Amino acid sequence: MSDTSKPTSRVEKAAAGIEDDIISLNDRLNVRGDGEPIEQELRLLEALLFAAVEPIDVETLRERMPDGCDVGVLLARLARDYSGRGVNLVRVAERWRFQTAPDLEPHLTDMKETPRKLSKAALETLAIIAYHQPVTRPEIEDIRGVAVSVGTLDVLMELSWVRLRGRRRTPGRPVTYGTTEDFLAHFNLEQLTDLPGREDLKAAGLLDSRLPKDFEVPIPMLSLDIDEDPIEDDDEGEFVTDYLEDDDKPDLDD
């Protein structure tokens, strides 16, 4: 007759340990380490997030909250409390904000400000920058097959979705472009790696189902490329000399 008491005992111990962890986490979500309730701290954190005009990072929250607060635990508690409600606490681009629940969007469309639609050229340029960054203007044109006007890039930069990343270590030192945290926040992405991949794009009908087998969606660079220097302070002005000026070739942008 086999002895099953030991395995059973191990399972029971594991279950007990999990239960203890859950109880401990629940306690942390309700009381501070010194045993004091966290309701007042929750109210302050909730007010800070509500009053913020843009997503706010954890370090800024720590500076605004009383000493000794476990901001991570407080954020987890608020996120849990708002889960399933009309307004949710979400993290985008490593920052936190309140936003309306995604499933309620159809009921709120008439209450939203109608944004100006981007041109096809701007949308294509934005997609190329998002997936191929760091990318230069000539590289964007090579991928699109037509020239890109400065005005198209200006629109994307005015929206704060595109920024100057650096300068390529090639003749002429062309500037490189990349996306911003505002781009992540607008499209509700926590980080660049959350951009939809090949299968996601195919499922959404944005890619032809008959793609070459070796076709892959590029992965954006998360830091300066080895052939890229950072933008210097004197390059940060409104006017930047790009690799090619519009006068050098006809404007074929659609």
Which pLDDT belongs to residue 246? Answer: 47
Q: Is 4 inside a domain boundary?
A: no
**What pTM did the predictor assign?**
0.55
Domain's final residue, options 40, 71, 105: 105
Q: Is residue 252 part of a domain?
A: no
Query: Tell me: the pLDDT tens digits for 146-173?
Result: 888 888 999 999 999 999 988 988 888 8
d(CA 140, CA 147): 8
Give pLDDT, residue 32.
52
Tell whether 136 and 85 lie within a shared domain: no
pLDDT at position 250 is 42
Out of 7-11, 39-43, 184-188, least confident range: 7-11
Q: Predicted confidence band at 114 (pLDDT cuts at 50, 70, 90)? A: low
For the cut 60, the answer to whether the pLDDT of residue 111 exceeds it is no
Higher pLDDT, 98 or 231: 98
Mean pLDDT of 33-52: 82
Q: Tell me how many domains the chain contains.
A: 2
**Residue whose entry in the numeric block shows the structure tokens 């045993």:** 35
Say if residue 95 is in the same domain as residue 131.
Answer: no
176 has pLDDT over 60: yes
Length, in residues, of the chain: 254
Query: Is the pLDDT score of 105 beyond 70?
Result: yes
Higher pLDDT, 217 or 83: 83
Q: What is the DSSP string of 6-40?
A: HHHHHHHHHHHHHHHHHHHHHHHTTB-TTS-B-HH
Band (pLDDT 50/70/90 cuts) for residue 243 is very low
Whether 110 maps to a domain, the answer reads no
Same domain, 126 and 66: no
Domain ends where: 105, 130, 145? 105
Lowest mean pLDDT among 45-54, 97-106, 111-120: 111-120
Q: In 83-187, where do the E strands start and end?
A: 87-92, 95-100, 135-136, 162-168, 175-179
Domain residues for the domain of 140 are: 120-243
**Residue 60's domain is classified under what CATH number?**
1.10.10.10
Q: Do 201 and 230 fall into the same domain?
A: yes
Residue 196: CB atoms within 10 A of its CB come to 16
